[in-house]
Amino acid sequence: MDKKCDSLLAAAPKTVRITFHAKDGGQYEMKENGVKKTSLVFNKTGQTVGGQPMKKKDYFLIEFTLKDETTAGNLQVPPNPIEAFWVCTARQQNPPTCPTTASYDSDIFAVCVDPDKGILTVRNEDDVVEDFMFTLRFLPAGADPKVPANYVAYDPIGQNQNGGS
């Protein structure tokens, strides 16, 4: 992993590791520690950092690792994190919808990628209780990342229940 991602992960109060199984036709499966997740839920209540309850100022890093299970088997994490992750929160549109065009948020955003290892890292600083929708975008091997039509999109969902102390 590149040094930027390493330092971010080392400094994060809480890191959530998700294996993202990309399948054909926009289908997918997400797993955390081998357990299937239908949505990602973030809740600081009951979580600890260094033995202390998570505080409002604490944040989550979400490390998505791509497992390409498509027939072609050639998907990769794009080199630019901004192209890999789009998000829509209820503050942007209520109810939020899965972004089909570039959409970003100052509280939930991609921070780095490691295309060689298929890893995308997203920072979730959002301490508002709200649903959010996001789109993960991958590229077929050898595809030009500057051409929007080359991306393959997946649209999972998430939910913040972030109280914290």
Choose the most confident range, by mean pLDDT, from 11-20, 97-106, 124-133: 97-106
Amino acid letter, 33:
N
Taking 50 as the threshold, does the pLDDT of residue 146 lie above it?
A: yes
Q: In what order do the strands lie in the sheet with 60-68?
A: 35-37, 28-32, 14-22, 60-68, 119-124, 108-114
Taking 80 as the threshold, does the pLDDT of residue 11 lie above it?
A: no
Taking 60 as the threshold, does the pLDDT of residue 119 lie above it?
A: yes
pLDDT at 144: 97
Question: 86 or 164: whose pLDDT is higher?
Answer: 86
Quick: pLDDT tens for 13-56: 788 899 999 999 989 999 998 999 988 888 888 888 888 888 88
pLDDT at 10: 67
Residue of 130, 126, 107, 118 whose CA lies nearest to 18: 118
Q: Are 1 and 10 in contact (CB under 8 A)?
A: no
Query: How large is the average pLDDT for residues 83-93?
Result: 90
pLDDT at 160: 57
pLDDT at 81: 95
Among 28-32, 70-74, 124-128, the range scoring the smallest mean pLDDT is 124-128
Taking 80 as the threshold, does the pLDDT of residue 121 lie above it?
A: yes
pLDDT at 157: 64
pLDDT band at 83 (very low <50, low <70, confident <90, very high): very high
DSSP tag of 150: G
